[in-house]
């Protein structure tokens, strides 16, 4: 019997600043119902799915920044999502800004959770690769202040056995880094769930803009193939507060092939029946890590962050 997980990338169109969490949750519930009608086991929502992508603004008032964060999960505004998913027996991935008291202080993380079919949170991840900058840079058309508003995640990349497979998570910019997938690959991951918010325009490198969708897929397809895993990428996209973000949500097989892809830049469900046993032939042959990897030769990867070319 193949291990089939029917998965939906639940792409969201724009969420404007004036839109409250209730309206975002209502849209996600509508997608959950569609997923239920299509026999889905798991739905992947985007990064920071409850609000507009607020790191585009420089804010000096910490209370204003904190208004975009969740102090509890679930909370009254998000409880309907948990209730409906449980009623439909669907698991889900949700990205949100997490404000938590830890080590005796308030901490801010860009977080995702995996909720199983019973409504229990079974895995939490805090984004490690925070892109952008920490100070106001007025020359930009818009800011990307993730390095200001979030701390680097402190949970590494955990994976868990859930929904019949070995599942892991990453968030947006993480998908561009091979280390993200490899750390989970070394734990036998069979499906990596990724939510993202990717502005088309990258102010420091506008020459990349026309390649945005290509780079999105290139990185996720490589991660899937090189680790023998499924990858599910779910965008928040469209024109949000005047800033265009790419869609192109996709479900990628361990072969590296895209098996389903979004057609719009709006709320849309992208569905695929994923055979988790398809991972095995990659994990056991070309990417049999135990047989072929040479970790003794990879020391620089953990010893050094930036490249140092020879003299």
Residues that bind ligand CDT (CB under 6 A): 47, 131-132, 144, 172-173, 176, 196-198, 202
**Cis peptide bond N-terminal to 73, omega within 30:** no
Q: How far is the CB of 150 from ligand CDT (least distance, A)?
A: 10
Burial of 151 (0-12, 13-18, 19+ CB in 10 A): middle
Nearer to ligand CDT, 47 or 190 (CB): 47
CB nearer to ligand CDT: give 173 or 229.
Answer: 173
Which position among 40, 70, 127, 237 bears the catalytic label?
127
Q: Which is nearer to ligand CDT, 162 or 173 (CB)?
A: 173
Closest CA to 48 of 32, 61, 65: 65
Active site residue 29: no
Q: How far apart are the first and last CA of the chain?
A: 57
Ordered alpha helix ranges (H), the chain: 21-37, 62-66, 79-88, 146-149, 178-185, 212-227, 278-284, 289-292, 299-303
Q: From the candidates 70, 98, 172, 274, give the one annotated as an active-site residue.
A: 172
Catalytic residue flag (residue 151): no
Place of tokens 């509890």: 72
For residue 95, the SS3 value is: strand
Q: How far is the CB of 193 from ligand CDT (least distance, A)?
A: 15
Residue number with CB closer to ligand CDT (162 or 198): 198
CB of 117 to ligand CDT, least distance (A): 28
Token couple for 30: 């509508």
Active site residue 279: no
**Closest distance to ligand CDT from the beta carbon of 61 (Å):** 22
Active-site residue numbers? 47, 127, 172
């Amino acid at each position: 019997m193949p291990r089939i997980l029917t998965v939906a990338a639940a792409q969201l169109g724009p969420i404007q600043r004036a839109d409250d969490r209730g309206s975002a949750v209502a849209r996600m519930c509508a997608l959950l119902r569609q997923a239920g009608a299509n026999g889905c086991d798991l739905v992947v929502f985007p990064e920071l799915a409850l609000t507009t992508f607020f790191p585009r603004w420089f804010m000096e008032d910490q209370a204003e920044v904190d208004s975009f964060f969740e102090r509890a999960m679930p909370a009254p505004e998000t409880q309907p999502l948990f209730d409906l998913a449980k009623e439909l027996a669907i698991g889900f991935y949700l990205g949100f800004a997490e404000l938590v008291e830890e080590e005796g202080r308030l901490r801010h993380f860009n977080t995702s959770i995996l909720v199983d079919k019973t409504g229990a949170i079974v895995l939490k991840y805090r984004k490690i690769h925070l892109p952008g900058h920490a100070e106001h840079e007025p020359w930009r058309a818009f800011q990307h202040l993730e390095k200001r508003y979030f701390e680097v995640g402190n949970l590494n990349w955990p994976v868990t056995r859930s929904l019949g497979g070995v599942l892991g998570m990453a968030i947006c910019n993480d998908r561009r880094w091979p280390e993200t997938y490899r750390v989970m690959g070394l734990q036998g991951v069979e499906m990596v769930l990724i939510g993202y918010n990717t502005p088309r325009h990258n102010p420091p490198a506008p020459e990349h803009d026309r390649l945005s969708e290509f780079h999105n897929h290139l990185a996720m397809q490589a991660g899937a193939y090189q680790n023998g895993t499924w990858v599910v990428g779910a965008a928040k996209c469209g024109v949000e507060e005047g800033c265009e973000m790419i869609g192109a949500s996709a479900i990628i097989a361990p072969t590296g092939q895209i098996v389903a892809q979004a057609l719009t830049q709006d709320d849309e469900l992208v569905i695929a029946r994923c055979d988790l046993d398809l991972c095995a032939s990659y994990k056991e042959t070309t990417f049999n890590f135990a047989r072929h990897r040479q970790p003794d030769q990879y020391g620089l990867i953990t010893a050094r962050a930036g490249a140092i070319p020879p003299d």
